[in-house]
């Protein structure tokens, strides 16, 4: 995603700089979704780790 003016100001980057957008859904044990979130991050300041807990 390209950073908007507001995102650029909040994240201390230039408008139009690339951002990493992540969307995720959290589920209860029975499969019912309870949270949906979208975040945008500066890729050079972000470390992504995949963790699965069963």
Residue spans per domain, the chain: 5-45
Residue 5: which H helix or E strand, with range? helix 5-11
Of all residues in the chain, what percent carry a pLDDT higher than 70?
Answer: 100
Flag whether the pTM goes above 0.85: no
The yes-or-no verdict on residue 2 having pLDDT over 90 is yes
pLDDT band for position 52 (cuts 50, 70, 90): confident
pLDDT band for position 50 (cuts 50, 70, 90): confident
To which residue do tokens 């499969």 refer?
31
pLDDT of residue 7: 96
- Cβ-proximal residues to 43 (8 Å cutoff; 6+ apart), any chain: 18, 19, 20
pLDDT of residue 47: 83
The yes-or-no verdict on residue 54 having pLDDT over 90 is no
């Amino acid at each position: 995603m390209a950073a908007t003016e507001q995102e650029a100001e909040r994240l201390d980057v230039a408008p139009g700089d690339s951002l990493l957008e992540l969307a995720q859904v959290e589920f209860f044990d029975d499969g019912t979704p309870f949270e949906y979130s979208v975040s945008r991050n500066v890729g050079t300041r972000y470390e992504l780790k995949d963790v699965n807990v069963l």
